[in-house]
Amino acid sequence: MTADTVTMTDNQDLRRQMVETCRQMNATGINQGTAGNLSVRTGDGFLITPSSLPYDRMEPDDLVEMAFDGTYVGRRPSSEWRFHRDILRQRGDIDVVLHCHSLYATTLAVHHKTIPSFHYMTGVAGGTTIRCAKYATFGTQQLSDYALEALEGRLACLLGQHGQISLGKTLESALWLANEVETLSRMYVQALTLGEPPILPDDEMERVIEQMRRMSYGQAPDLDGINDIARPRQAG
């Protein structure tokens, strides 16, 4: 949902969708307890999960309305509201910010490891790497500044000794990406047990990212004859 204007009905629907997404974060294992947070752009501001409320007890009305000046209505917002605000304010290309402490992404983050293009799916985050932001105390402006730096030209990043952030136009796309980042992180951690894996060259990753971009716009792939066999069947 893009929300230049959000009616009261749409707002309630969005709140319900956010609560469901939060519960899916826990159900898929990328989040635990009260860790992690979620926000969605709503016209002149955004909705964000409240502080210290487990997702299984969260109700739609518990979500916090915030303005970009940092003022809010309702419960106390997540302690990480600063990077949610700053990302949504700076990144007009996305509407959802999802933060979680998924196990393998955090394992890499505690070592401040960037995920290189050891696998072509690294390109889902929009570049040849998934960067790791420098460490800063949670909830601080410094952490937000570091996150913005790591997310430049990207849809996801790790946070040093902390967790991960994934972005999207929709709740569904942000949750999907967060799970992909966790899957890539797990594969990379396991690959490292055999030594540093080979890295795909930048020119190949450029082809991969372009292919992903074209497919996301609903266009069938046709690079290097990929689409020579797979064609829509003609009726009749």
Cβ neighbours of residue 180 under 8 Å, at least 6 residues apart? 121, 124
Cβ atoms of residues 3 and 95 within 8 Å: yes
Q: Which of 20, 59, 65, 80 is catalytic?
A: 80
Q: What are phi and psi of 123, to 5 degrees?
A: -65, -15
Q: In this structure, are strands 132-133 and 96-100 parallel, antiparallel, or unpaired?
A: unpaired
Tell me, yes or no, if 210 is annotated catalytic: no
* Residue 91, both tokens: 């990144």
Q: How far apart are CA 68 and CA 46, in angstroms?
A: 8
Crossing angle (nearest 10°) for helices 171-192 and 103-110: 60
Backbone dihedral region for residue 99 (phi beyond 0: left; psi -120 to 50: alpha; all else: beta):
beta
Residues marked as catalytic: 80
